[in-house]
């Protein structure tokens, strides 16, 4: 292999290693393990059959992923409210409520991680390690939501700037570029100096 081939290979590894698909894959794989661990705990601690424990564990993990999605959606909506200067207070309530749901779902999942490890080992160190692993997964979900939101905000800024260039700043009506100046001069909502 020549130097440029080695460099190309290293560049490709770097792209894969630091792409969004890697942390998303890790989050999803750790979710599968969390479902397995929660299923084990529900069977061992409460004597549930697997046909009850598995859907319950799946539901618990879906609550976490759903709450993460709600945080993204509510933060996106809050940013749109900021850009449009409409419903900012209501959007802020949505953000707070979705974050509270995410925290509650994290506490439930982290609690199950501790309880299952304690049930199996009755030792604080393995229980702490399993809890830290669950906290890491929870943190990765938060960071992934933040990164996705930052990308979405960038796209929304560009979209709103494009809409602003195609509409009247006084009345908000869509205006073609060749009629923009004429419309703005005669717009009934134009402030008169």
pLDDT of residue 160: 84
> What is the C-alpha end-to-end distance of the chain, expressed in Å?
72
Residue of 28, 23, 18 lying closest to 146 (CA atoms):
23
pLDDT of residue 132: 94
Q: How far apart are CA 14 and CA 192, in angstroms?
A: 57
The pTM score is 0.74
CA torsion 145-68-129-59 (nearest 10°) is: -150
* Average pLDDT, consecutive stretches of 10 residues, N- to C-terminus, the chain (193 residues): 64 68 84 92 92 93 91 91 88 93 94 93 92 92 90 88 80 81 83 71
Q: Supply 7's token pair.
A: 């460099």
Neighbours of 193 (CB within 10 A): 3
Q: How far apart are CA 73 and CA 92, in angstroms?
A: 12
Q: How far apart are CA 64 and CA 145, in angstroms?
A: 12
Distances in Å between the alpha carbon of 92 and those of 75, 145, 167?
8, 17, 28
Q: How far apart are CA 41 and CA 174, in angstroms?
A: 58
Q: How many CA atoms lie within 13 A of 188 on its CB side?
A: 1
DSSP β-bridge partners for residue 167: 174
Domain ranges (residues) in the chain? 20-186
């Amino acid at each position: 292999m020549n130097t440029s081939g080695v460099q190309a290979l290293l560049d490709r590894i770097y792209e894969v290693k630091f792409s969004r698909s890697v942390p998303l894959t890790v989050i999803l794989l750790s979710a599968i393990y969390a479902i397995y661990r929660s299923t084990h705990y529900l069977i061992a601690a409460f004597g549930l059959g697997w046909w009850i424990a598995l859907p319950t564990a799946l539901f618990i993990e879906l609550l976490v992923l759903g709450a993460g999605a709600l945080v993204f959606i509510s933060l996106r909506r809050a940013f749109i409210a900021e850009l449009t200067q409409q419903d900012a207070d209501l959007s802020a309530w949505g953000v707070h409520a979705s974050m509270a749901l995410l925290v509650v779902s994290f506490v439930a999942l982290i609690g199950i991680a501790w309880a299952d490890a304690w049930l199996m080992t009755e030792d604080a160190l393995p229980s702490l390690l399993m809890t830290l692993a669950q906290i890491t997964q929870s943190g990765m979900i938060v960071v992934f939501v933040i990164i996705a939101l930052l990308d979405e905000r960038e796209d929304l800024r560009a979209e709103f700037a494009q809409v602003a260039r195609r509409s009247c700043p006084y009345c908000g009506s869509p205006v073609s570029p060749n009629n923009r100046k004429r419309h703005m001069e005669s717009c009934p909502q134009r402030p008169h100096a």
